[in-house]
Amino acid sequence: MTILNYTPIDYTIWNPDGSGSNIKTSLASKEWDIWMRALEYQDKRGDSGHAECVTYFALKLLDYVTAERAIVIPAAILHDTGWSQMTKEELGMFHDALTNPTLENKLRKRHEEQGALFVEKLLNTVYYAAGGDITLIRGIINGHDTREGFLSAEDGVVRDADKLFRFTLIHLNIYGSVPNAPTSKEDLAAHINKPGFFYSDAAKQIARIELEHTFKVHEEMQRRGR
Ligand SMILES: [Fe+2]
Ligand SMILES: [Fe+2]
């Protein structure tokens, strides 16, 4: 197993507003075009910064995992836009769903299906991808939270990137005070080696590095009373 030369997110310079400023220079102009068109539909579950973070990790994982960038990056950017197509009532139910697996599964399936429909409209407007690519991107999005196993390397990279968000300080700051949200260091560490959780070994290593860093920064902030 190769040990990655990976540096965790530097929270002294990371802009947490979710606008895309942290990833802008890493995206090609067509990818940035998708980002900007999707921006108003992002982070609708009160998880500001999620879409940007997932796209950031997808870019990082592409350094270590062989996968088609033309599929991975649009899918990462757009994977959760389905939440924007749901009603206020449905979105409002989500915190309750953390203790109700049937409801949680229903809401997750809804955002996956809505997302797959929505991205077709959005990608067609940017003429980004040929029909085949859109089908693959939709295939990843429709099932990204609930599917067992991975469809492809591209599916693996996108879903690893989505899960890596949980190991960040951004996630801890949002969900740390939400009852029943899995945010303890022990819970998160236990997920890393769970069979079928991560697709790639690179994601496991990044998760360990980000987890250590997140809790180190968090403890320092608490010591300073911030
Ligand atoms: Fe999702
Ligand atoms: Fe997500």
Q: Is residue 109 part of a domain?
A: yes
72, 12 contact by CB (below 8 A): no
pLDDT band at residue 153, thresholds of 50, 70 and 90?
A: very high
pLDDT tens-digit readout, 186-224? 999 999 999 999 999 999 999 999 999 999 999 999 898
Confidence band for 176, pLDDT divided at 50, 70 and 90: confident
Residue 20 pLDDT: 98
Q: In the predicted model, is pLDDT for residue 131 greater than 70?
A: no
pLDDT surpasses 60 at 129? no
Q: DSSP character for 4? A: P
Percent of the chain residues past pLDDT 90, beyond the cut: 75
Instruction: Identify the nearest ligand to the CA of 84 by its number.
Output: 1
For residue 123, tell me if it sits in a domain: yes
- pTM recorded for the entire structure: 0.94
Q: In angstroms, what is the C-alpha Rg of the chain?
A: 17
Q: How far is the CA of 224 from the centre of ligand 1 (A)?
A: 34
- How many Å lie between the centroid of ligand 2 and the Cα of residue 224? 31
Interval between CA 49 and ligand 1 midpoint (Å):
13
Residue whose C-alpha is closest to residue 205's, from 76, 61, 13, 67: 61
Ligand 1 centre distance from Cα of residue 4 (Å): 27
41 confidence band (pLDDT: 50, 70, 90): very high
Is 201 within the bounds of a domain? Answer: yes
pLDDT above 90 for 75: yes
CATH number at 128 reads 1.10.3210.10
Using the mean position of ligand 1's atoms as its centre, give its distance from the Cα of residue 63 in Å: 23
The mean pLDDT of 126-152, rounded to a whole number, is 85
- Mean pLDDT (the chain, rounded): 92
Is 5 within the bounds of a domain?
no
As a whole number, mean pLDDT of residues 26-54 equals 94
222 CA distance to ligand 2 centroid (A)? 27
Q: Is the pLDDT of residue 40 over 80?
A: yes
- Does residue 136 form part of some domain? yes
* Residue pair 65/200 in contact by the 8 Å Cβ criterion: yes
77-128 pLDDT, tens per residue? Answer: 999 999 999 998 988 887 778 788 899 999 999 999 999 999 988 888 776 5
Give the residue-averaged pLDDT of 21-25.
Answer: 98
Residue 82 confidence (pLDDT): 97
Q: How many domains does the chain fold into? A: 1
What b/e sequence results for 101-120 when a residue is b if at least 16 CB atoms lie within 10 Å of its CB, and e otherwise? eeebeebbebbbebbbebbb
Burial (CB count <10 Å: 0-12, 13-18, 19+), residue 185: middle
Identify the nearest ligand to the CA of 147 by its number: 1
The answer to whether the beta carbons of residues 81 and 110 sit under 8 Å apart is no
**How much distance in Å is there from the Cα of 111 to the middle of ligand 1?**
7
Cα(225) to centroid(ligand 1), Å: 33
Q: What's the 214 CA to ligand 2 centre distance in angstroms?
A: 19
Domain residue limits at 164: 24-223
Q: How far away, in angstroms, is 225 Cα from ligand 2 center?
A: 30
Query: Residue range 16-34: average pLDDT?
Result: 95
Per-residue tokens: 60: 């990082």
Do the domain assignments include residue 7? no
State the distance from the centre of ligand 2 to the C-alpha of 37, rounded, in angstroms.
18
Tokens of residue 23, six digits: 């990833």
- Asked if the structure places residue 3 within a domain, the reply is no
In a domain, 113, yes or no: yes
Tokens 């649009």 — which residue? 74
Provide the 3-class DSSP secondary structure of residue 54: helix
